[in-house]
Amino acid sequence: MAKIVLPVFLICLVVASPEALASDSVNVYVAVEGFKSGDGLCRLLLFESTEGFPDSPGEAVTRLSGKIHGQRAVFRFRVRPGRYAIAILHDENSNEEMDQTWYGRPTEGFGASNNPKPGFGPPEFEESAVNLDAPNNHLTITLNYL
């Protein structure tokens, strides 16, 4: 019995190890362009469904923040292959939320994967969703300021 249990146990460890899980993931490189200033931080939220997209950090699969270098910020992360949408915020005052006028117009830069044109309200998940299934995925998101 012990001769069978030990090999099965070792196989389970290999399958559940971070290295085994990492081999099932893909690299995602996101370049964010078009900052009007270098103030604050660039915030990225990655969603795998419509739930919470684009502005609910608690529903995001990945949440990242980074400094702005000139007119650009760059992010790198790993995820399981799949269909995702990315929301970007230029959080100029670093308060971790999109500032708006009293009537709801954003006062900070924003963007999403697939670079949908700004309309009335935030973009939909489906118009922003991209397939991230290549070993290395490169996206460029251009910010919008209203």
- pLDDT, tens digit, for every residue of 65-106? 999 999 999 999 999 999 999 999 999 999 999 999 999 999
Could you tell me the residue ranges of all domains in the chain? Answer: 25-142
pTM over 0.75: yes
Q: What pLDDT score does 2 carry?
A: 52
Of 38, 85, 97, 46, which is closest to residue 66 (Cα–Cα)?
38
Rg, the chain, Cα only: 19
Assign a CATH topology to domain 25-142: Immunoglobulin-like (2.60.40)
Q: DSSP secondary-structure letter at 35?
A: -
In whole angstroms, what is the distance from residue 71 CA to residue 68 CA?
Answer: 7
Q: Which residues of the chain have pLDDT under 50?
A: 5-21
Q: What pLDDT score does 120 carry?
A: 86
Q: What pLDDT score does 16 carry?
A: 40
Cα angle 60, 33, 50 (rounded to 5 degrees) comes to 25
Cα angle 132, 46, 143 (rounded to 5 degrees) comes to 95
